[in-house]
Structure 1
Amino acid sequence: MANNLETSCSNHFRKRPNKPSSDSKKFCSCFAGTFTSTISLRELDAANGVVTSEIQEQFERAAEFCGRDVAPSVAQAGRAWIMESN
């Protein structure tokens, strides 16, 4: 699951005008690891494809946490990807 999230995040940054930076790679790697450490596959399966409030909250927490160590523009783009993905 973490690999899929990281790939999806990286693909989002590839679509942007600038190529992925070390910050965007750092954000995607951090986000995938952080999110998958807080949400289990069982919880995702139980949601039946619906983004529950708990899943949304964990998405947002992971984005906030991982956005602290990267450029503000990367953090903002990462949060935008999360909102698009839901």
Structure 2
Amino acid sequence: MYWVWMLIVSLIAGVIFGPLARLVLPGKQNISLGWTILGGGIGAFAGGLIAKALGVKDTSGPDWIQYLIQIACAAVVVAIISSRKGSKTAA
């Protein structure tokens, strides 16, 4: 049940982390808002798993380190999606 809850929260977090990831990335990303949110959600999920493995989620109060890890993972995922989608439209 924990994984389902984490997946739902990660997709919701994708609404915030996806656009933040695009702000972190240099240049223009030729992907839609839907792909940005999906990439942010996937990155938030992966970042949450990494944070849990590192023990970051066991802190009290806001988990700022976890959020930074999730944004970094979202930036990587958005960059990958952008490179895949951009290469298809350029060809």
Q: Could you state the TM-score of these two structures normalised by the residue count of structure 2?
A: 0.45
Q: Could you state the TM-score of these two structures normalised by the residue count of structure 1?
A: 0.47
Larger radius of gyration: 2
